Amino acid sequence: MRTRSRLIPRAGRTFGALLLTAAPAIALAQAASPFMTGATALQTNILAWLTPIAIILVMVLGAMAMANRMSWGWCFAAILGIAIAFGAPQIVTWVRGMFGV
């Protein structure tokens, strides 16, 4: 009695083995990794929360400056923090470009 493995031609077995070997690569060939999807969602949420906070911070700093009750170090630190928070994607792109990643 013949077994099934003898009935399948050698090319068919080779193609089947190649297909099984390539299956994980096909499954992982996504447009974006799950990490990048989560990181992008986190960045969007942080910026959504940070926008009104930054607006209120600028208003408070302006009121403190008008009342002459502010250290200018706070003002510069707030401006730097807002620039870093909202410019983070551009900063990351710039650093990755510097190191060729």
User: Tens digit of pLDDT for each residue in 28-81?
Assistant: 555 678 888 898 899 899 999 999 999 999 999 999 999 998 888 989 999 999
Helix axes 72-86, 34-66, angle to 10 degrees: 160
Q: Is the pTM of this model over 0.75?
A: no
For residue 21, the number of C-alpha atoms closer than 13 Å in the C-beta half-sphere is 6
CB-CB contact of 36 with 89 (8 Å): no
For the chain, the structural domain boundaries read: 31-99
* Most confident stretch, 5-14, 17-26, 54-63: 54-63
In the chain, helix, strand, coil percent, each to 5?
Answer: 80, 0, 20
The yes-or-no verdict on residue 89 having pLDDT over 80 is yes
